[in-house]
Amino acid sequence: MRIVLIGQAAFGVKVLEALVERGEEVVGVYAPPDPPGKVEPLKEAAEKLGIPVFQPEGMRAPETYEQYTRLEPELNVMAFVTYIIPESILEYPKFGTIQYHPSLLPKHRGANAMNWAIINGETKTGLSIFWPDKGLDTGPILLQREVEIAPDDTVVSLYFNKLFPMGVEALLESVELVKKGQAPRIVQDESQATYEGLCSDEDAIIDWNQSVSRVYNLIRGTNPQPGANTSFQGKRVKIFDSERVADSHQGGAPGEVVGITDKGLVVAARDGSILVKRVRPDGSPKMAAGDFVKQVGLKAGDKLGS
């Protein structure tokens, strides 16, 4: 079966390598243009395998469609795609197009599905392989797999430890089902659908008056992007690695620094405290919270946030 892979980054690379290792005929790869000063990893992997690579600015141009059809694909496999693919390309192959999405559709449609599942305090999520259509993550489901969101998972651990490796295997399984003519098309239940937009800096502002659970979920659900943010002395500070402090209410007002340890600084929320271990002040790289404490002269009793 002639496959065109559309994707990017490490996930696209792993899917490509797994398809080739399985003996699938990948006849072309579409990846985004190289970022400034770097090479798109999927492009590099495809070139090493001797597979034609195409990097159009977008997929809507007539010349892109003509170039694509010359590959005579029978199936498109979309592995981490963040740009719009026109219906003319989605529907062109004999067997259509399958796509990976890191949520249990129809929940958490949108580009930041993992972020919002953690921010919302959910304890499970998963992945979907689906047949994309003109809507945003609205096409029929082919296959789904569920995973636990552990109490201390961040977006990084949820993706790289769970949804990334499971997603590669799920796409391979889905390709096999398509080849055998056994791939289902289960219509999504629109009554269960949720959609969230991109998780922005505005969404990631910490309100220290909220419960410690909500603050902690926001921090881990925005780690590494966009980073939960607060302020100190009128300047924004993004918080990344953190821990809930066990049995912790140490009496401070929300946002108050109630302790400084060798691991970082302890900040009070409404009903508990959080140990902040890694931060990024505006205009600076990420640093250990202890280094930030020394840099700005922060001390117990100081306040974060407005």
For residue range 193-219, list pLDDT tens digits in order. Answer: 999 999 999 999 999 999 999 999 999
Q: Are 242 and 216 in contact (CB under 8 A)?
A: yes
Question: Looking at the predicted structure, is the pLDDT value of residue 75 above 90?
Answer: yes
Task: Write out pLDDT tens, residues 142-187.
Answer: 999 999 999 999 999 999 999 999 999 999 999 999 999 999 999 9
Q: Tell me the β-bridge partners of 183.
A: none
pLDDT classification of 268: cutoffs 50, 70, 90: very high
Distances in Å between the Cα of 157 and the Cα atoms of 149, 150, 205, 243 are 9, 9, 22, 14
Query: What is the structure's pLDDT at 83?
Result: 87
Domain check: are 241 and 171 in the same one?
no
290-294 long-range contacts (CB < 8 A, ≥24 apart) are 290/260, 290/262, 290/263, 290/264, 290/265, 292/237, 293/260, 293/264, 293/265
Kindly state the DSSP code that residue 224 receives in the 8-state scheme.
T
Do the domain assignments include residue 202? no
Q: What is the mean pLDDT of residues 254-263?
A: 95
Strands 97-101 and 75-79: parallel
- Considering only CA atoms, which of 225, 245, 243, 233 is closest in space to residue 281? 233
Domain check: are 25 and 112 in the same one?
yes
Largest CA distance in the chain: 68
Query: What is the structure's pLDDT at 255?
Result: 97
Per the omega criterion (within 30 degrees of 0), is the bond before 106 cis?
yes
Question: Looking at the predicted structure, is the pLDDT value of residue 248 above 70?
Answer: no
Q: Are 117 and 149 in contact (CB under 8 A)?
A: yes
Domain check: are 221 and 184 in the same one?
no
Query: What is the structure's pLDDT at 175?
Result: 98
Domain check: are 118 and 246 in the same one?
no
pLDDT classification of 23: cutoffs 50, 70, 90: very high
Domain check: are 216 and 183 in the same one?
no
Query: For the packed helices 9-21 and 41-48, what is the interaxial angle rounded to 10 degrees?
Result: 20
Do the domain assignments include residue 197? no
What token pair was written down for 292?
């930030």
Query: What is the structure's pLDDT at 235?
Result: 96
CATH number for 18: 3.40.50.170
Q: What is the mean pLDDT of residues 23-52?
A: 97
Residues 6+ apart with CB under 8 A from 220: 118, 152, 153, 154, 155, 242
Q: What percentage of residues in the chain have a pLDDT greater than 90? A: 96
Q: What is the mean pLDDT of residues 83-88?
A: 94
Do the domain assignments include residue 305? no
Question: Looking at the predicted structure, is the pLDDT value of residue 41 above 70?
Answer: yes
Domain check: are 33 and 149 in the same one?
yes
Domain check: are 23 and 132 in the same one?
yes
Q: Are 55 and 38 in contact (CB under 8 A)?
A: no
What token pair was written down for 258?
């109630």
Do the domain assignments include residue 132? yes
Query: What is the structure's pLDDT at 251?
Result: 75
pLDDT classification of 247: cutoffs 50, 70, 90: low
CATH number for 271: 3.10.25.10
Query: What is the structure's pLDDT at 160?
Result: 98
Query: What is the structure's pLDDT at 53?
Result: 98
pLDDT classification of 250: cutoffs 50, 70, 90: low
Residue 298, φ and ψ in degrees, nearest 5? -70, 145
* Mean pLDDT (the chain, rounded): 96
Least confident of 13-17, 40-44, 83-87, 203-207: 83-87
Least confident of 1-5, 56-60, 88-92: 56-60
Q: Are 51 and 77 in contact (CB under 8 A)?
A: no
Domain check: are 233 and 164 in the same one?
no
Do the domain assignments include residue 206? no
Domain check: are 67 and 101 in the same one?
yes
What token pair was written down for 64?
């892109």
Domain count, the chain: 2
Distances in Å between the Cα of 59 and the Cα atoms of 33, 52, 93, 109, 122 are 12, 16, 15, 21, 35
- Taking the alpha carbons at both ends of the chain, their separation in whole angstroms is 59
Q: What is the mean pLDDT of residues 29-38?
A: 96
Do the domain assignments include residue 182? yes
Rg (CA), the chain: 22
pLDDT classification of 284: cutoffs 50, 70, 90: very high
Q: Where in the sequence is the domain holding 253, given as residue range(s)? A: 212-296
Domain check: are 158 and 17 in the same one?
yes
